[in-house]
Amino acid sequence: MAKKRLHRIAAVLMICAGVLNILLFVIAISRIVDVKAVIGVSWAISPLPYFGVATGFTGRAGLSNVLAFVYLAGILAAILGGTIFLLKNTVVPWLIGTIGALLCFPLLGIASVVVTVLSRSRSDG
């Protein structure tokens, strides 16, 4: 029972990583808060979008687009992988969700890896 609970916690962490990044993205686009403040917060959460913006300003638009695509793919992978891992307890969605969470929100991605490893090492007894 504790093993399933830890798997659910790991899946929720993956989903939270993706959803929080979507919220930051929506806040930045809708200009509810100053864009500079959102970029400052996103730097603390995930450095990948910041590197993409910085690369774009240096004249390397292609690399900036690749980083933006990887970031958005990470958000999608974290949400889909976490949701599928929550519904079906298999390894492949966990790997996809963890990689996505590590790309878009490294702290929650590391936490989901730690929780899942703890659940794997725990016996079913």
| Helical spans, DSSP H, in the chain | 2-30, 35-45, 47-57, 61-87, 91-104, 106-121
Domain extent for 91: 2-121
Q: How many domains would you assign to the chain?
A: 1
pLDDT in the model for residue 56:
67
Confidence of residue 32 (pLDDT cuts 50, 70, 90): confident
Confidence of residue 125 (pLDDT cuts 50, 70, 90): very low
